[in-house]
Amino acid sequence: MLNNLIIGMAGSGGDGIVSAGESLIGASAREGYYAILTKSFGSQIRGGESSCRLRVSNDPVLNPGGALTAAIVLNWEDFLRFGGELPVTEKTVVIYELKTGVAPDAIPLGGIKPAIVRAVPMEEMAVKAAGTLQAKNNVVLGLVAGWFGLARQSILEGIRKKFGKKGEAVLAGNERAYALGLEYADNNPIGPEWRLAPPKAGGARILTDGNTQCGAAALFAGCKFFGGYPITPATEIMEYLQREIWKHGGSILQAEDEIAGIGAAVGASFAGRKSMTATSGPGLSLKCELLGLASVAELPLVCVNVQRGGPSTGLPTKREQADLFAAAFSAHGDTVRPVLAPIGVEDAFAVTVEAFNIAEQYQTPVVVLTDQEIAQRKEIIAPVDTSKLRLIERLRPSEEDLKDYSRFRFTESGVSPISHPGMKGGNYLAAGIEHDVYGAPTSSGEMHTRMNDKRLNKLNPLKQRRDLFVVTGDPEAELGVISWGSVAGVALEAVNAARAEGIRVKLLVPKLLYPVAEEIYSDFFRTLKRCVVVEQSHQGQLHRVIRMWVNVPPDFTALAKSGANPIAPEEVLERLRAMNLNPSTAS
């Protein structure tokens, strides 16, 4: 039996592929499995190809996995457009629509011979059962449940819940479509070795995605204002807060553009409210000037940037990790702003809360880098234990401070008490121009130097936060891996596999990407002779940032790919094997 099942499906818009995937992960959650569902679309507004991949396991899953266990093809042209996102090997079961007219021994997979190939009349079965092609996704659900033993009853319950309000005839037709799929699988078995092992007993779990986690975390952290503008793939954060923030005494502004959205958030922070904005790459470019204003005015602000393929409009619906340079360096002058990155859907909650804490504690804008996969993938996780999370509020002026209030006075920590409008004695000027301790404009080079020291040095304690780094593996290993964001789960799975093979290796996953924690990296590098940085960017941006600040091991390389070119655990494992056995040829 299988302990790990990876299903990839592709078809045209309207085929119900993503809907089928969501039905499967919902049923998996009810059964007690762990699972990750990722979705991929063309960039068209309407129509076009769509796909999803579902990984189901008895154990917590770290990433969407590599090669498919099962590939379900409704349309070969659409399936092939996804290329490496839906990899088929000799160990894959391929199920495709009979009506495509392709013979089983002539499927267009570049010479790959799958373990099993089945041509199934899915469209014919859908019409027979429900009188409409729209029911073929339920035929697919029946095939999956029958052949792979996945959540038969829970899938049926999900169909009844979904179609129960659409009338008895619609419900009955979709139930029959599901039953026909089951019947076909039972009458044409592929073998018990392809069936998923029954779920283990476990505690309560929830089904959610990264954008929802970010929004929920903002509310938990005390966010009372969100200003933003719709942009793929970050819009769901704003949609979630639009529904929920009012229940917590907050408000939201969907502005006319990205600049107005962050401008309103900066204004709300000046007014004393915990504030947030969210965007993706092109929007981050537009928000940079006002991020600079928040930096010089020392105003707390959280900006979530859900990375997608770039430059410019780029790949709006695909994952990439290529906004690190933009997040860290896209500010004129000597500006340093913290940049954080969660490593998965579950982690997005705690990292977003921490972003608010850092923003409030250090009076600075903080950028949170998620990406399309974390933001939009569905994942079954344990409920968040909020008792383990702390909340930090900004430093307010005392009565003594307000007798002669100097908003930007120099302190030992570099953090000055911050007032808000209406606070008696707390009036001050917050502007983008350089200022003295009272906020009055100045052109003094000496004052500019002192203010630069204040704004930069106050972040030094942040670089000592070892709790913002995950370190695992052999502490004395000479071989190391660094990875971040959604790809970190891929690297962790590969490192665990390498250690199971006897390879001595360790892994560092930074959740704080900037400012660079030189001491923590140096400690990690202490034993290393070889190290690879695994990330989803063409240039290997974290690899380059680390080299700017830290003395790296002699053999310090990158495994980097542009967005929409997935990095699989097996690929990282192969690199580690090569570096371990023949380090002089690793590249």
User: Where in the chain are the domains?
Assistant: 4-194, 207-388, 395-464, 466-585
**pLDDT at res. 40:** 85
Q: Which positions of the chain have pLDDT values less than 50?
A: 585-587
User: Is residue 12 classed exposed, middle or buried when 0-12, 13-18 and 19+ CB atoms within 10 A define those classes?
Assistant: middle
Give CA–CA dist 197/109, Å, rounded.
29
- Order of all β-strands in the sheet with 555-560: 469-473, 505-510, 479-483, 530-535, 555-560
Predicted TM-score (pTM) of this structure = 0.94
CB atoms within 10 A of CB 382: 13
Q: How is residue 299 annotated by DSSP?
A: -
> What's the CA dihedral at 137, 40, 316, 325 to 10 degrees?
160
List the one residue out of 521, 508, 511, 500 whose CA is nearest residue 573. 500
Find tokens 């290393």 and name the residue. Answer: 528
Task: Say which CATH topology domain 207-388 has.
Answer: Rossmann fold (3.40.50)
Query: Is 568:510 a contact under the CB 8 Å cutoff?
Result: no
All residues at 6 or more sequence positions from 129 whose CB lies less than 8 Å from its CB, including other chains: 135, 139, 173, 174, 176, 177, 179, 180
List the one residue out of 567, 498, 574 whose CA is nearest residue 65. 567
* Cis peptide, bond prior to residue 417, ω within 30 of zero: no
Q: Which long-range CB contacts under 8 A does 447-451 form with residues at least 24 apart? A: 450/410, 451/408
Give CA–CA dist 330/289, Å, rounded.
9
CB atoms within 10 A of CB 476: 10
- For residue 78, the one-letter residue type is D
Provide the percentage of residues in the chain whose pLDDT is more than 70: 98
Give CA–CA dist 464/369, Å, rounded.
20
Between the CA of residue 43 and those of 309, 319, 493, what are the distances in Å? 11, 13, 31
**pLDDT at res. 587:** 40
**pLDDT at res. 586:** 42
**pLDDT at res. 439:** 97
Q: What is the CA radius of gyration of the chain?
A: 26
Find tokens 């400012």 and name the residue. Answer: 515
List the one residue out of 542, 548, 363 whose CA is nearest residue 456. 363
Give CA–CA dist 32/523, Å, rounded.
40
List the one residue out of 383, 506, 486 whose CA is nearest residue 63. 486
Find tokens 């002192």 and name the residue. Answer: 450
Find tokens 């309000």 and name the residue. Answer: 165
DSSP per residue, 415-481: ------TTSTT------SS-B-TTS-B---HHHHHHHHHHHHHTTGGGGG-GGGEEEEE-TT-SEEE
In the CATH scheme, what is the code of domain 466-585?
A: 3.40.50.920
**pLDDT at res. 432:** 95
239 three-class SS = helix
Predicted confidence (pLDDT) per residue in 167-220, tens digit: 999 999 999 999 999 999 999 999 999 999 998 877 778 999 999 999 999 999
In terms of DSSP bridges, do strands 49-57 and 34-41 run parallel, antiparallel, or are they unpaired? antiparallel
In the CATH scheme, what is the code of domain 4-194?
A: 3.40.920.10
Q: Which helix (H) or strand (E) holds 21?
A: helix 17-31
Tokens of 239: 């949609």
Same fold yes or no, 4-194 and 207-388 = no
All residues at 6 or more sequence positions from 278 whose CB lies less than 8 Å from its CB, including other chains: 214, 226, 228, 234, 237, 238, 303, 304, 305, 306
Alpha helices in 105-257 (DSSP H): 122-130, 136-148, 152-163, 168-187, 210-221, 235-244
Give CA–CA dist 284/307, Å, rounded.
10
Task: State the distance between the two ends of the chain, measured CA to CA, in whole angstroms.
Answer: 38
